[in-house]
Amino acid sequence: MEDQAEKLREIVNRKKDSPSGSPEKPSRIVSRDSKKTRIITVTSGKGGVGKTNLSVNMALAYARLGKKVVVMDADLGLANVNVMLNMVPKYNLYHVIKKQKTIREILVDTDYGISIVAGASGFSQIANMAENERQNFINELDTLSNADIIIIDTSAGVSSNVLDFIAAADDAVIITTPEPTAITDAYGIIKIIATEYDDLNMGLKLVVNRAKGAVDAKKVADRMITIAGQFLNLKVDYLGFIYDDVVVSHAVLRQKPFMVIDPRCKASLCVQHIVERLEKSELRKSEGLGGMMRKLFGRSK
Ligand SMILES: Nc1ncnc2c1ncn2[C@@H]1O[C@H](COP(=O)(O)OP(=O)(O)O)[C@@H](O)[C@H]1O
Ligand SMILES: [Mg+2]
């Protein structure tokens, strides 16, 4: 816990002190292109709480609604969307940054009606991109704008990259389990978002994964939402829960999404419900994909 708090402070201080780091806060109310690509980040305080499973299966649920969906693996350390889908993409974001490939060339269709942009451990090098590399990368990512939905599976915890992704997206989905450690770390990331972007009326949304049931999950969510409201003056919406379901771990072992293994299992029905709720929720105005990427990479030195 001490570690997490220390990391949070460090990031806040760095951002505040940095002369050229990030003086400007992202503005939320800005015009958007006519073509709406909804950008959803999935993140958590603690690792292993279900980000990748939620990202991939949410993408499938969206695809079933007839949406064109891209899952982008932005986990800096553990790029594993492709592993979950039993795919071995030859190229990933690293090759795009290095101008060896275009994003269209690395975008891979899956058997499930969604496309993926594979991540790389080298993704963290984005922060150190040269100006021309950065510009090229931004232009490249713009070409994803014909997707209806882009789901970004981020790494756990707080890094500036993750925070920037969260701030720039339309919806930031925070996922936790009912475990006290996961809850504390989820609260930690909500707190850092509130500290960093205090002018931002953002659509933070909470998912409780691996719950025993609706009552159990709601208790966890209510506590977190109340504390965020009281201490951070931040509105967090409860998006729903996912049952702890043995189908999930089976699916992971078989390297297929649980929505494919059993679309009627408890976890699948929950994810479907989550996507329905997201669809009903109001879409915040944002600058769309290009704007997001400019914010993301225009901010670092
Ligand atoms: N709803 C669930 N029910 C049962 N097991 C789950 C559930 N969600 C996640 N898990 C287990 O947790 C592991 C980690 O999930 P994953 O999506 O890879 O987490 P993250 O991306 O946050 O690291 C999975 O391999 C699976 O075994
Ligand atoms: Mg993951």
> For residue 262, with 0-12 CB atoms within 10 Å meaning exposed, 13-18 middle and 19 or more buried, which class applies?
middle
157 Cβ inside 6 Å of ligand 1: no
Beta pairing partners, 71: 116, 151
Digitized pLDDT (tens) for each residue of the chain, 301 residues in all? 444 445 444 444 443 343 333 333 332 323 334 457 888 989 999 889 999 999 999 999 999 999 999 998 887 667 689 999 999 899 988 888 778 888 889 999 999 999 999 987 655 555 555 667 656 666 676 778 889 999 988 877 766 556 666 766 788 899 999 999 999 999 998 888 888 776 555 578 999 999 999 999 999 999 999 999 998 888 899 999 999 999 999 999 999 999 999 999 999 999 999 999 999 886 655 555 555 555 555 543 3
pLDDT at 270: 98
What is the model's pTM? 0.83
Please state, in angstroms and rounded to a whole number, the distance separating the CA atoms of residues 72 and 36: 17
pLDDT at 9: 45
pLDDT at 8: 45
Helix ranges (H only) for the chain are 2-17, 51-64, 81-84, 93-97, 103-106, 131-142, 160-168, 180-196, 214-232, 246-254, 258-261, 266-280, 288-298
Contact (CB, 8 A) for 100 and 90 = no
- Domains by residue range for the chain, with CATH: 36-298 (3.40.50.300)
What number of other Cβ atoms are within 10 A of residue 9's Cβ? Answer: 12
What DSSP designation does 285 have? P
52 Cβ inside 6 Å of ligand 1: yes
Scanning the structure block, which residue is given the tokens 């950065």? 134
pLDDT at 284: 55
Please state, in angstroms and rounded to a whole number, the distance separating the CA atoms of residues 76 and 124: 6
Contact (CB, 8 A) for 149 and 40 = yes
pLDDT at 75: 74
**Distance (Å) from CA 18 to ligand 2 centroid:** 30
Which residues are in the CB-under-5-Å shell of ion ligand 2?
51-52
15 Cβ inside 6 Å of ligand 1: no
Angle in degrees, CA 141, 144, 148, rounded to 5: 140
Provide the residue type at 187 as one letter. Answer: Y
Q: Which atom of ligand 1 is nearest to the CA of 209?
A: 1
**Distance (Å) from CA 245 to ligand 1 centroid:** 10
